[in-house]
Amino acid sequence: MEPASAPPLPPYADATATPGALTVQLPVRPDAEQALGAYLRAHPFPFARIGAVHYARWAILPRGEDGAGYPVPATLLLAVNHDGATDGWLAAAVDEAAEALDARLAFCEGYPPPPERTPARRLAYLQAHALPHDVFYVGAHRRTLAQILHEARLHAAIQDFVDGRDWRGTEPAEVRRAIQHYVFEERGDAFAWARTPPPPPVNRLRCFARRFWWVLVGAGFALAIVLAVLFTRLALGWLLVPAVIAGLPLVAALAALLVVRVKEARENWAFRTDPVLPYRRADDYPERPDPRQPQTPLTHVAAVRPGRIRHATLRFVLWGVEAMCRCRYTRGMIAGIRTIHFARWVRVDGGRRLIFLSNFDGSWINYLAETSDDLAAGPLTALWSNTEGFPPTRWLFHDGARDVDRFAAWTAAGEALTQDWYCAYPALSLFNIDNNTALRHGLSPEVDLDDDGLRLWLRRI
């Protein structure tokens, strides 16, 4: 049986939209950096009280330099992954945790003095410093916090029920019926929500069509002309139109890639002749979170390389990865990595630095092995090669993160401490969350399982 002291859960709810990703970057008073860091560590923010928060963090982005060598001051970062709209969450935070907010924002520049702090001004201050995210990835796609927690409880109940009996010699279908009986009859209404199967995952094709309708329109138009030339008496000259439609983007892309390649070659040369960069070591990192905890946050800061070419390339790659996250990486995996719950890339400091925030299963020790694997290295290289110090690359996608020692050194150099981190379900890996949802799917009386499906379902317990 589950412990009687388990905290009350919010009522079950299906997801209607992608969870919100709030990013707020606040300027820290020049003298307050140390004190703020100590304060954040000592006083966890009451994230659990405000709305439905999956993950959240306060972290200080340390002072540094941008790609051109100009100084960037330290800033305070608030990043939250929550259900619902971002504005709504901020308003709730201002209502529920005014004191805790004040205590942190008092270290920041431009925050009004105590007598002038009203809910409206707090909200306005936070909203004024909120940033849009460039890429936002969700591992447990289309699932609310309530769904994740309820399904975990369901899984635990089924585990305990199955443990209590000797099932040897029982037919699989019989086992399922017994579990269904236990969950839906013996446990009363506790799991009544599980009678309906979970909402199906996003249709990726439809998602792609909605986002890239103009590509489809263009392709359809070109195809129509080709067919018209082939089967009607349209002049051959019309074939120029599809040739231009298909060819122009291709030529533009090739030209852009060539420009990037030239840029790369020059930067790689600089990298080789720089006495420090190639020999910076992977282990010059500050302290890292306890390796025993099952999940870990990463806050990573990198200076964007100077020049229009790099800024434009970065924006284009970010746009591409964001589109992938919306349309392709919707099954709990991003570029072959199956351990990331939430991740985002945000350009901060007026676009001069790029931050990467992620909440992942395990520890930095497996994280580096996963990100430097060939499956993940391509997209990550395309993205991060636009920032300073990244290992040499070729044609945007090649080398880079595959140089595992240098990539580790580069990652370590950009790591920032995450002073205050909150996680709503530290005991659930992304794999567990997915498994719980699948378990619930097969449990629902509305779902018919054939023999193979039944065996597969029983394996999920």
Partner 1 sequence: MRRKPETLDLDDIQGLILRGYGGLPAAHYLILHIADPVRARHGLRGLLPRITDGYSDDARRQAVHVAFTYSGLERLGLNTKTLRSFPRPFREGMARRNLLLGDCGASAPERWRWGGPQDKEVHALLLLFAREPDLTHPAAPHPTDDPNASLAELAERGKQDLIHAVRHRLQDSGLEVLEALDTRTLIERKEHFGFHDGIAQPMLHARRLTGKRHVHEDNLVAPGEFILGYRNEYGRLPDSPTVSAVHDPLGLLPRRSDGRHDLGRNGSYLVFRQLRQDVHAFWRFVDECAARDGAADPAARDRLAAKMVGRWPSGAPLVLAPDADDPALGGRDDFGYHDADPYGERCPIAAHVRRTNPRDVMQPGPARYAVPGKKDSTRQAKRHRLLRRGRAYGDPLHPAMTPDAFLRAGDDGAERGLHFLCLNANLTRQFEFVQHTWINNTKFGGLYDAADPIVGTHDPHGEGRLGIFCAPDAPVRQRLCDVPTFVTMRGGAYFFLPGIRALRYLAAGLP
| Site residues for partner 1 per CB under 8 A | 159, 162-163, 167, 170-172, 175, 281-283, 290-292, 294, 333, 336, 338, 361-363, 365-366, 368-369, 372-375, 402-405, 427, 429, 431-432, 435, 456, 458-459, 461
Query: Percent helix, strand, coil in the chain (nearest 5)?
Result: 50, 15, 35
Rounded to the nearest whole angstrom, what is the least distance from the CB of residue 167 to partner 1 in the complex? Answer: 5
Query: Helices 213-231 and 240-273, interaxial angle, to 10°?
Result: 140
Q: Is the Cβ of residue 167 or residue 395 nearer to partner 1 in the bound state?
A: 167
CB of 383 to partner 1, least distance (A): 20
**CB 405 to partner 1: min, Å:** 5
Min dist. Cβ of residue 295 to partner 1 (A)? 9
The answer to whether 63 and 9 are in contact (CB under 8 A) is: no
| C-alpha–C-alpha distance, residues 408 and 284, integer Å | 10
Do the beta carbons of residue 133 and residue 319 sit within 8 Å? Answer: no
Phi, psi of 232 (to 5 degrees): -115, -175
If the CB atoms of residues 108 and 152 are measured against partner 1, the closer one turns out to be: 152
The two three-digit tokens of residue 364, written as one number: 């930095």
374 token code pair: 């060939």
Nearer to partner 1, 75 or 147 (CB): 147
The CB density around residue 422, as the number of other CB atoms within 10 Å, is 20
Between 167 and 269, whose beta carbon lies closer to partner 1?
Answer: 167
Shortest CB 266 distance to partner 1, Å: 21
Q: Smaller CB distance to partner 1: residue 39 or 285?
A: 285
Which residue type does 440 have? R
Closest CB to partner 1 among residues 311, 460: 460
* Closer residue to partner 1, CB minimum distance, 192 or 456: 456
Q: Shortest gap between Cβ of 336 and partner 1 (angstroms)?
A: 6
Backbone angles phi, psi at 21, to 5 degrees: -130, 105
* Residues 6 or more apart whose Cβ sits within 8 Å of residue 63: 33, 71, 72, 73, 74
Q: Which two tokens stand for residue 284?
A: 């010059």
Nearest-5° Cα angle at 415, 100 to 289: 65
Nearest distance from residue 88's CB to partner 1, in Å?
Answer: 33
> Which residue from 357, 386, 395 is spatially nearest to 133, judged by alpha carbons?
357
